[in-house]
Structure 1
Amino acid sequence: MSKKIMLPPDAFLKVCPSRAVLTRIGQKWTVLTMVALQDSSLRFGDIRRRLEGVSQKMLTQTLRAMERDGLIERDVYDERPLRVEYGLSPLARTLLPLVVELKEWAERSLKTIETHNRIFDRKFSH
């Protein structure tokens, strides 16, 4: 019987499962959903209105994946009509400061990045 050696996670390795985590938290809809939920739990429709441009299908997939990863908690209330709310889990709250900063950095850096894009495009469009 062979023993399996357990190595610590290393996202630089192709086989490391932490890459799937990085993929998920690096997606724009995951980032924006987390920021939208930072202050309170929201219903699906409220999240969708907050995230302009997200399709119902994409938001459903994002919420399911985040729930599977333990980043959000889905609370179902036995009311008529049925009410479902999504909120950040304790695990997601440990990631939230980084995600909020990432969103804010993107907003702060947008003009500079657009300037670099124009310079690059002019340089390589000839």
Structure 2
Amino acid sequence: ATTGQNLAVASHLAPLVGQQLQTLAQRQLQWSGALWPGQWLEWKLRPGTDEAPGEGDEGAKQTAAEAIHWDSTLRLQLPRLGAVEARLRLQGQRLWLDLDGDQAATLQAAYGELHRALQALGLEVFPT
């Protein structure tokens, strides 16, 4: 047991431990970096416990477990599409998805195919 002992963090692990503590305090994960050479991604992920988009007092009451969801935002710069931003909310098997970017018409044209692919994975998909 380590009760009463002072535990030191190795100096090379200090930045990682600091990031973990910041994530716990903010209840949000933020990451940016290279997915592969030349492809940069900014990603934010946070838990939430409020109502799903479009559900108000007229909707069925949710249990606390049903109300838990994850909100995520992905921003990337793609070679043919330019800047793309995806905003997602995942709650159980339900996914709310909003895509926007420099080539919004191209993204919108491909939305149906993406929607079908996500449904094939067992998700109910809703636009936001």
TM-score, structure 1 normalization: 0.24
Q: Which of the two has greater strand per residue? A: 2
Q: Which of the two has greater helix per residue? A: 1
Structure with greater contact order relative to length (CA < 8 Å, sep ≥ 6):
1
TM-score, structure 2 normalization: 0.23
